[in-house]
A and B are shown apart, each in its own frame.
Chain A
């Protein structure tokens, strides 16, 4: 294809040609083009369909504020919906597709919606799809979602990398137009650390789009020199293709750098985008201004765009939307577009200016006091109907119409900490208010300073003030200093299907309807009509809607108010926020030292927090997990089993006051625990509810090792530090988490001692007399390897826990298996561990569930009344100690073979089954190979006195009713004889 609408000049590299495809047709472009400028150069005005009415649409703007021309960029798993063609930098082989149309962009079946527009006005969904209620979810919503959509997702995983980074500076300059460049020169020459960020790939801002001269030379030359000077400064970092998306607390700014979006393919290992967190001592917002349109009938046809955008396409990109162009304006800037286009050889059909005193031109016709009434052209503009000052009408033949309604300063970032912009009558626009984010100041057009000279000067001054620079400002290049001349004009009277928000298809009529129906506050207007709620956040539409609402309410615009701007300034892909934190990087896996040994044994693993723990170890002959678990339990209880319990939290407590400290954090006493002994400890929260349990082993007078449950390790450590630092600051005690320093294994079963005796060095006596139940001590194993041995039991068997430095964990496990062969040793996983602790009646996470007290757990008497401990006072509250309180019990089915189900509720044997008659609930359940029956643990009202009672276990959700008997929670060895063997 030839580039028919290519003009002379511009900042494109004509020596190179790039090929691209739009809707499967091939076109050519040059480096320096955007997808928008390349499409226009190739004579393509129609680029998309609108959201609701499926109206044909083209580009409205030449920047990131674009509401209309959204495409699906790239293909396959890199497909990216809703990409603004105005921000896509051209690369070789680019492929894009129009969206929200079927079967094709030129013939879209759903354009029928436009015929029914009378019914599709604001609040249409709320009014129409009311009954029957069930239809909303099943029929209406899916239907609407299909019809009113934007781009589609590829539904494939994004193959690219995204990254995050941190940067620091004295001054962050946001925007590299005249104000930003001058600010950077001022700060950079003074030696400050400067970051200059701009969303565009070319620095220079508006100067790239104008034909101004600076210092009697081309403005773009000054830009080049300035950028070259800044690039050479080691203290200045230039960040093109970087959008500052938000101003956050304490001088922290979010910025998205598009490092790879402009490349046909990413070099390996390079991220596609980087989310920067910039810590700036000061920041200067030089974000410029955005031109605003005027609303008139059928103002959304392809070819109708902002006048400044037409100027940008002509001057910077050397292209035009059409060879004959008209301008509709309320200010002098619109005439600048006409003059620039005329100079490029474009025919100006006329300049339609609403002002009676508009400037005139020798080069083209100016229609003073005239307004655009309507437009024609189904898939692109063909004619413009103008009402002249005398009331007569005139038809202009043109393929593009540039509209200029004045300029809005880009105040967005100034509002990110709930600052409100202030109204400026001269500009008829909002400018930054007084309550800016701390450390942020504003310069140039963003601050309402619209001339080039003003921008340069305020940029230099802004940088000097922000940094407290003394001495004269640098010399400013000579530049135009034209005053603003405009008459506020928002919409043509009498229009109705005149678009304000083109992305969400909101018209003047919708705003009027909203007012009529009582949705008059700006926030209501926004939500009722969806004005400004699309991905462009109403950058080109909010002001128009506000002005109409103000007029209808008989108030001024500032009295009507403005909505809050929130981050991000422009849309950010979710992938960029995620960065590398996806999959396992987001949720890392913790492996115990003997993980690979367990893997070799064919263990099935379960995630416990971030840990992977062996759940059971199936044998090749076993087909069901229960077979494996039952075998592991039987073999452990018959001989010996080994279980990896490294994941338990371990906290080292040392200091002269260590025992006193544990006395405060555990509800039971620790002061009198002898050296070489271990004790079970229950921690309460200050409100008297059980928090966690574990053991504390006293290795020396001033040294304890505390264990926590796997799940609560982090929280318990935090809590203990709180108690130490905030409550008892003078205690001589130090804490450190040693969870990862020790690999720890439970060796359980009647032969556990015999097995350990084979590896514990002979000088350590671990006989029942030498190392009785609850003993602990430092030992050595395997000929000198330091280890810790605890005689504690979770299974109810004669059992030990042995800990060695982490790096010996794998070796120890293999050694235990090898030495245990003669005892038929079995490794067991978390399932068998769980079965055995239920058989023994030990509470675990299911019972310590954040609602239960020591009393509920059957440990009421453990709470010492003779000392100060966290939670002891409030555990005595009446409400927690009422007669009939829940008590932990054991549950057995009456009919052998029936299952006990965790989560089921206990009801009396007869009577109603409802919440009012609820007697308790089951927290843990398992099949017990030792009893050859299903069993459970649970909480029952008055549970301590109800043993032997027959009840019903019900689960109305799963339609379950089982007859059960209440029994002791200690199913196995209630006297504890095995423990002490």
Chain B
């Protein structure tokens, strides 16, 4: 596969390490009332669709960016690649 890195252009997927569902960015608030439940969901429950999926990839053999790759797991078509940091910020994550 070829991943179009937002900063470095097309890169072979062998330069990357795969982590999984990009929902791992949505780490719950540790002080929330239901923190234990929310962390349980966060740590253990993942979508595994046969189709479009947002995934985390780490550019280990490159600039060490974490990327959010939108990929169809059935066809391997990649429709979007973003810096995970931008995605996290857009979702309101900060410090």
A residues with CB within 8 A of B: 249-252, 277, 279, 417, 438, 657, 660, 686-687, 714, 718, 721-722, 725-731, 868, 872-874, 876-877
Closest A residue to B3 by CB, please name it.
A250
Name B47-83 residues within 8 Å CB distance of A.
Answer: 56, 58, 60, 64-66, 75-78, 83
Closest A residue to B35 by CB, please name it.
A873
Closest A residue to B1 by CB, please name it.
A249
Minimum-distance CB pairs A-B, first 4: A730-B94, A250-B2, A868-B30, A729-B85
Q: Which residues on A sit within 8 Å (CB–CB) of B1?
A: 249-250, 252
Q: Once the chains are docked, how many angstroms separate the CA of A279 from the CA of B64?
A: 24
A722 and B19: CB pair below 8 A? yes
Can you identify 28 A-B contacts, CB atoms within 8 angstroms?
A250-B1, A250-B2, A250-B78, A438-B77, A687-B43, A687-B44, A718-B17, A718-B60, A721-B58, A721-B66, A722-B56, A722-B66, A725-B66, A725-B88, A726-B24, A726-B25, A726-B56, A726-B87, A726-B93, A728-B95, A729-B93, A729-B94, A730-B89, A730-B95, A868-B31, A874-B36, A876-B36, A877-B40
Q: Once the chains are docked, how many angstroms separate the CA of A873 from the CA of B83?
A: 28
Q: Which residues on A sit within 8 Å (CB–CB) of B39?
A: 686, 873-874
Out of A714, A725, A877, which one reaches B84, CB within 8 Å?
A725
A726 and B85: CB pair below 8 A? yes
Q: Which residues on A sit within 8 Å (CB–CB) of B58?
A: 718, 721-722
Closest B residue to A718 by CB, please name it.
B58
Q: Once the chains are docked, how many angstroms separate the CA of A876 from the CA of B30?
A: 12
Closest A residue to B64 by CB, please name it.
A721
Q: Which residues on A sit within 8 Å (CB–CB) of B87?
A: 726
Asked whether B46 is an interface residue with its Cβ less than 8 Å from the other chain, the reply is no
Q: Considering only CB atoms and an 8 Å cut-off, how many residues of chain B contact the other chain?
A: 37
- Chain B interface mostly helix, strand, loop or mixed? mixed
Q: Which residues on A sit within 8 Å (CB–CB) of B76?
A: 249-250
A660 and B42: CB pair below 8 A? no
Q: Once the chains are docked, how many angstroms separate the CA of A975 from the CA of B4?
A: 57
B39 to chain A, nearest CB (A): 4
B35 and A726: CB pair below 8 A? no
B60 and A877: CB pair below 8 A? no
Count: A-B pairs, CB below 8 Å: 81
Closest B residue to A252 by CB, please name it.
B2
Type the 1/0 row for B29-41, where 1 means its CB is closer than 8 Å to any CB of A.
0110001100110
Beyond contacts A722-B66, A731-B95: 5 other A-B pairs, Cβ-Cβ < 8 A, are: A726-B25, A727-B27, A730-B89, A730-B94, A868-B30
A728 and B42: CB pair below 8 A? no
Closest A residue to B90 by CB, please name it.
A729
A725 and B60: CB pair below 8 A? no
Closest B residue to A248 by CB, please name it.
B1
Closest B residue to A438 by CB, please name it.
B77
Closest B residue to A868 by CB, please name it.
B30
Q: Once the chains are docked, how many angstroms separate the CA of A714 from the CA of B24?
A: 20
Q: Which residues on A sit within 8 Å (CB–CB) of B65?
A: 725
A716 to chain B, nearest CB (A): 13
Q: Which residues on B sit within 8 Å (CB–CB) of A660?
A: 95
CB-CB under 8 A for A728 and B56, given A722-B19, A874-B40: no
A726 and B60: CB pair below 8 A? no
Q: Which residues on A sit within 8 Å (CB–CB) of B12?
A: 277
Name B15-29 residues within 8 Å CB distance of A.
Answer: 17, 19, 24-25, 27
B11 to chain A, nearest CB (A): 11
B17 to chain A, nearest CB (A): 7
B89 and A877: CB pair below 8 A? no
Q: Once the chains are docked, how many angstroms separate the CA of A151 from the CA of B86?
A: 57
B89 and A729: CB pair below 8 A? yes
Q: Once the chains are docked, how many angstroms separate the CA of A250 from the CA of B1?
A: 6
A167 to chain B, nearest CB (A): 13
Closest B residue to A865 by CB, please name it.
B30
A138 to chain B, nearest CB (A): 42
Q: Which residues on A sit within 8 Å (CB–CB) of B44?
A: 687
Closest A residue to B19 by CB, please name it.
A722
Q: Which residues on A sit within 8 Å (CB–CB) of B17?
A: 718
B2 and A729: CB pair below 8 A? no
B90 to chain A, nearest CB (A): 10
Q: Which residues on B sit within 8 Å (CB–CB) of A718?
A: 17, 58, 60
Q: Once the chains are docked, how many angstroms separate the CA of A726 from the CA of B17?
A: 15
Out of B31, B88, B95, which one reaches A726, CB within 8 Å?
B88
Q: Which residues on A sit within 8 Å (CB–CB) of B43?
A: 686-687, 874
Q: Once the chains are docked, how many angstroms separate the CA of A277 from the CA of B15?
A: 14
Out of B35, B60, B86, B93, which one reaches A727, CB within 8 Å?
B93
Q: Which residues on A sit within 8 Å (CB–CB) of B40?
A: 874, 877
Q: Which of A714, A722, A726, A728 has the most CB of B within 10 A?
A: A726
Q: Once the chains are docked, how many angstroms separate the CA of A726 from the CA of B89?
A: 8
CB-CB under 8 A for A279 and B93, given A718-B58, A872-B30, A873-B30: no
B95 and A657: CB pair below 8 A? yes
Q: Once the chains are docked, how many angstroms separate the CA of A727 from the CA of B29?
A: 11
Q: Once the chains are docked, how many angstroms separate the CA of A250 from the CA of B3?
A: 9
Q: Which residues on B sit within 8 Å (CB–CB) of A252?
A: 1-2
Closest A residue to B2 by CB, please name it.
A250
A686 and B36: CB pair below 8 A? no
Q: Once the chains are docked, how many angstroms separate the CA of A876 from the CA of B36?
A: 8
Q: Which residues on A sit within 8 Å (CB–CB) of B66?
A: 721-722, 725-726
Q: Once the chains are docked, how many angstroms separate the CA of A250 from the CA of B12?
A: 10
Closest B residue to A730 by CB, please name it.
B94
